[in-house]
Amino acid sequence: MGGGYGGGEAEGRRFAVLLCAEDSEYVKKVHGGYFKVFVSLLGEEGETWHVYRAACGELPPAEDVDSYDGFVISGSCSDAHGDDQWIRDLLSLLEALVSKKKQLLGVCFGHQILSRALGGKIGRAKRGWDLGVTCIHPSHSTIKQFSSLHIPSHLPVIECHRDEVWELPPNAEVMAESEKTGIEMFRYSNHVMGIQGHPEYTTDILIHLIDRLLQLNLIQNCHAETAKASAEAGEPNREAWKKLCKAFLKNQL
């Protein structure tokens, strides 16, 4: 069983984060790990939150799945179009959760793997890395559907990806796009939502990631400088993202 957080077992609703990345030393030291980063964005008093380290092969056992109201699928250093055993196991679980109509919120890798589980096409981004603070544009129908949340038409978010959703799953709809990425967000029915950006990230996490990617020679100096400049130029709209993600995950729309 993954680690826990929050109120008593019987009190309130239950959520789980399927963690698809290893915690970096920096995020552990400064934020207590990615699980706590998600809980600080999405958690509320009286809820119970658990973490399952999916990338290490840890997933909720079948008999526990029904006890959860919703699941968050995190980002990852791995490719959502890969075929590692843990990715195949995660796909099987997601297919089961979709059929049970559990609330599913996917972020970055999570957005891509949900799309794949539903029959969409994913792969390397045609326009390369998207790194830094990017302004995405929710569609008119999304702004209308979420009218009670007053979602702005320009919505900055932290991005850190080089893969993307190429083609939507059948019966899914695009919720937002950006200059670089055609499918920044998608929705399938009322219980699956994918977000290509990282609403949970803080600017310091982004700066740390840029430095790591540079050290690993995954990006060039010019990419790093442009990404850091975008972070200095504009903050992500964390409050708008918080409202949107919480309302969706908790089925309060």
Residues carrying an active site annotation: 108, 198, 200
DSSP category for residue 179: S
Surface-to-core class of residue 242, CB atoms within 10 Å of its CB (0-12 exposed, 13-18 middle, 19+ buried) = middle
Among 197, 90, 220, smallest CA distance to 136 is for 197
- For 164, phi then psi, to 5°, come to -160, 170
Q: Which amino acid is at 14?
A: R
What does R_g of the chain's alpha carbons equal in angstroms? 17
Instruction: For residue 243, give the H/E element and its range.
Output: helix 238-249
